[in-house]
Amino acid sequence: MKAYLLSLGAGLLVGIVYSLLGVRSPAPPVIALIGLAGILAGEQVVPLAKKITAMAAVLRTEIRP
């Protein structure tokens, strides 16, 4: 988590410097970043679905006498 916060802080700092210098940042457009966020979220769906399915199977076997 610390690495993510440091990365965010560094990005904010660089963004401020770019803004003060009046230079456009080389970052991709917002729509591309939203697409990347969708990809990252999509990668998490399959492992989450597997965990939920496994938990449901365990609960079904525990309920039966």
Q: Tell how far CA 8 is from the center of its chain.
A: 13
Mean pLDDT value of segment 18-44: 91
Give the pLDDT confidence score for residue 62 in this predicted structure: 65
Give the pLDDT confidence score for residue 26 in this predicted structure: 84
N residues, the chain: 65
Give the pLDDT confidence score for residue 65 in this predicted structure: 60
Q: How far is CA 63 from CA 20, 29, 48, 51, 57, in A?
A: 63, 51, 23, 18, 10
Q: How confident is the model at residue 23 (pLDDT cuts 50, 70, 90)?
A: very high
* CA nearest neighbour of 20 among 28, 8, 31, 12: 12
User: Is residue 63's pLDDT more than 80?
Assistant: no
